[in-house]
Amino acid sequence: MKHWAHHRLFNFDVVLRKAYGVHGRMMRTQLRFPSRTILQRIIKAEEWRLQQEGLDNIEDMSFQATPLGLAEHNEHIEVTGHVREAVKPKLAQAISVRQALANWVPITMRLTNMEMLYSTNYHGRSLDLFYQRLKNAKHSILLAEVLLDDTPSIGENGDTNGTSNNDKKPTIIGMYASQAWRVSNRVYGDGECFLFRASPDTKCWKWHPEPDNNDIDSLLTNQQTIANDAILHQFMVSRDSFISMGGNPDGSCGLRLDEDLSTGESSTAVGFGNEPLHGAGRGSVFSIGLVEVYGLVRQIDGKAV
């Protein structure tokens, strides 16, 4: 091949026209390769097939995905006077967290880096700021630190605070959003959304098109099929006063954060079948410390996906 390519009679343009030519009756018609969108649909169809065969948890398969990377973040904010501080991610620093997320995100999102778009440490603690910074993020991962009496919290430098409980891991929970968060009166998102606990006792709960047996018991009567279907498909809900994922007939959610992102609520949600993300036996409402939200960018060129 090397000798042929270096021959004086070799003409790359001629070879190219023969392979992909569109002019002349003797030329082959141009080959049409599937676009990125078509490839993503094919991959989603294969993921759906695996789910139908009982392999919806990627951890059941014989390989582990490479941990998601952390994109270089060049944002700086003014702290006092002319002093500027670099914005640094904290909740996603641990490789174990990014390894778990790589196993859970859709296959098309595996070769991506996490780019921090919003942090309550740097950008303020309100849903208005949350929506402003995430309006262009087509896919995002929200990480929230749960403040419990028996677990340490994340310090300003990313370390855990506390004394006797330093041997315990901080409780980090979250949700993966398949569409951009925005204020809306409608439910949006799709079955790619999922809930998770990143630390400790790492676990993910993906949406299933059919409710689990426990979910069926929580549904009411056959006459309320439409209402039940709406609850089952309650992926992403976002108002001026809260955001949530997953729902129940009694109004509780798989995960809900209030308007200043300081209080959370988690209950078993229809369709997800999740445990309370912050842990069982603690009540459904809890306090939240640090909140960070990451967009996903391609590793090859840094473009958002």
Q: What is the pLDDT of residue 169?
A: 82
Q: In which band, very low, low, confident or very high, does the pLDDT at 85 lie, cut at 50, 70 and 90? A: confident
pLDDT tens digit sequence for 168-194? 789 999 999 999 999 999 999 999 999
DSSP string, 248-284: -TTS-EEEEEETTS-EEE----BTT-PPPTT-TTS-S
Helix, strand, coil distribution of the chain in percent, nearest 5: 25, 25, 50
Read off the tokens for 97: 């967290």
**Would you say residue 144 has pLDDT above 50?**
yes
As a whole number of angstroms, the distance between CA 171 and CA 138 comes to 26
DSSP string, 97-150: HHHHHHHHS-GGGSSEEEEEEEEHHHH-SSHHHHHHHHTT-SSEEEEEEEE-TT
Q: What is the pLDDT of residue 244?
A: 98
Q: Is the peptide bond before 200 cis (omega within 30 degrees of 0)?
A: yes
Q: Whose CA is closest to 177, among 257, 284, 240, 248?
A: 257
pLDDT tens digit sequence for 51-78? 666 554 544 444 578 999 999 877 777 6
Read off the tokens for 138: 């087509």
Q: What is the pLDDT of residue 173?
A: 98
As a whole number of angstroms, the distance between CA 259 and CA 127 comes to 5
Q: Average pLDDT for residues 230-236, to the nearest whole number?
A: 89
Per DSSP bridges, beta strands 112-119 and 69-70 are parallel
**Would you say residue 280 has pLDDT above 90?**
no
- Among residues of the chain, what percentage have pLDDT more than 70? 68
**Would you say residue 128 has pLDDT above 70?**
yes
Q: Look at 44 and 293; give whichever has higher pLDDT.
A: 293
Contacts of 25 (CB under 8 A, 6+ apart): none
**Would you say residue 277 has pLDDT above 60?**
yes
User: Which residue in the block uniquely carries the two structure tokens 């996906």?
Assistant: 305
As a whole number of angstroms, the distance between CA 64 and CA 293 comes to 24
As a whole number of angstroms, the distance between CA 258 and CA 247 comes to 15
85, 119, 284, 302 from 75: Cα distances, Å: 9, 12, 36, 15
Contacts of 209 (CB under 8 A, 6+ apart): 191
As a whole number of angstroms, the distance between CA 129 and CA 193 comes to 22
**Would you say residue 271 has pLDDT above 70?**
yes
**Would you say residue 233 has pLDDT above 60?**
yes
As a whole number of angstroms, the distance between CA 3 and CA 237 comes to 62
| Sequence letter at residue 217 | D
Read off the tokens for 202: 């790492």
Q: Whose CA is closest to 275, among 266, 287, 263?
A: 266
In degrees, rounded to 5, the angle at the alpha carbon of residue 295 between the alpha carbons of residues 238 and 67 is: 125
| Choice among 152-156, 194-198, 240-244, 249-253 with the minimum mean pLDDT | 152-156
* 233, 208 Cβ separation under 8 angstroms: no
The sign of the torsion formed by the CA atoms of 10, 15, 16, 22 equals positive
pTM metric for this prediction:
0.76
In degrees, rounded to 5, the angle at the alpha carbon of residue 158 between the alpha carbons of residues 99 and 162 is: 115
Q: Average pLDDT for residues 89-95, to the nearest whole number?
A: 95
